[in-house]
Amino acid sequence: MNRTLLTGLILGGLVLLAPVRAQQQEDIVAAAQKTQTPASVLRMAEAIQKAILSLPEYGVFDEIRFQIKDYVVTLEGEASRPILQSSAENVVKKIEGVQKVVNEIEVLPLSRMDDQIRARVYVAIYYHPILSRYNPGRGVPVWVSPARIAAGITNDPPFGFHPIHIIVKNGNVRLTGIVDNAADQQVAYMQANSVPGVFSVENDLHVAQKPAKVAKKKK
């Protein structure tokens, strides 16, 4: 009887172990699926960047950054209008491979003073003879009328691609983006700093890296 009982316990133990082993295998597979390869991260990053840049709400007065880890995308940066915060999250959620979006985009405060500073800094930078080539008009600045400024340029920003972004918060300006050289970087900073009402200017502009020259082999 004791042998029968022992055999029953062993058999019962084997039956109970089977689901445990199956669960362990599922956990291993799930862990493997969460591990991203550099190639998959690059593909996802390119898709996210393209989706954000294509948003009609995204413009010269906004900046959005993102991080990717285990198929979770964290959105960061500043939005001059609340609609951009939700639009960015919604469009990223639809990208293949994205399992979760953490939205940490800051909506900048609504301020008439900041709105006027955005307009003035925009004109100071993109109307400058040296920097006007960065304008979507390729040297011909997008016209910003006094009426447009008075109505609020934040809600009606200049259209087109702008490599220099102007982030304004409580009178403080931060320049982000990419310029061709250090001289343009300095001119943009000086122009923004010359605008009346600006408290401070943070220059986060990057200089584009030129491709390295490949030395020719001697024959």
Read off the CATH number of the domain in which 89 is found.
3.30.1340.30
Residue 63's CB is within 10 A of a number of other CB atoms, namely 21
pLDDT of residue 16 exceeding 60, the answer is no
Looking at the domain assignment, is residue 139 inside a domain? yes
What confidence category does residue 36 fall into, taking pLDDT thresholds of 50, 70 and 90?
confident
Is there a single domain that holds both residue 47 and residue 87? yes
Is there a single domain that holds both residue 121 and residue 158? yes
Q: Tell me: the pLDDT tens digits for 165-186?
A: 999 999 999 999 999 999 999 9
Where a domain ends, among 86, 107, 128?
107
Instruction: Quote the CA–CA distance of 80 and 138 in Å, as a whole number.
Output: 25
- What is the DSSP secondary-structure string of 11-75? HHHHHHHHHHHHHHHHHHHHHHHH---HHHHHHHHHHHHHHHHT-TT--TT-EEEEEEETTEEEE
Is there a single domain that holds both residue 133 and residue 171? yes
pLDDT of residue 21 exceeding 80, the answer is no
Mean residue pLDDT of the chain comes to 83
Mean predicted confidence (pLDDT) in 184-203 = 97
What confidence category does residue 218 fall into, taking pLDDT thresholds of 50, 70 and 90?
low
Is there a single domain that holds both residue 118 and residue 102? no
pTM of the entire predicted model: 0.76
Each residue of 68-96: b (16+ CB within 10 Å) or e? beebebebebbbbbeebbebbeebbeeee
Mean predicted confidence (pLDDT) in 70-80 = 95
pLDDT of residue 61 exceeding 50, the answer is yes
Residue 189, token pair as written in the block: 């900073």
Instruction: Quote the CA–CA distance of 11 and 15 in Å, as a whole number.
Output: 6
Instruction: Quote the CA–CA distance of 26 and 41 in Å, as a whole number.
Output: 23
pLDDT of residue 54 exceeding 50, the answer is yes
What confidence category does residue 188 fall into, taking pLDDT thresholds of 50, 70 and 90?
very high
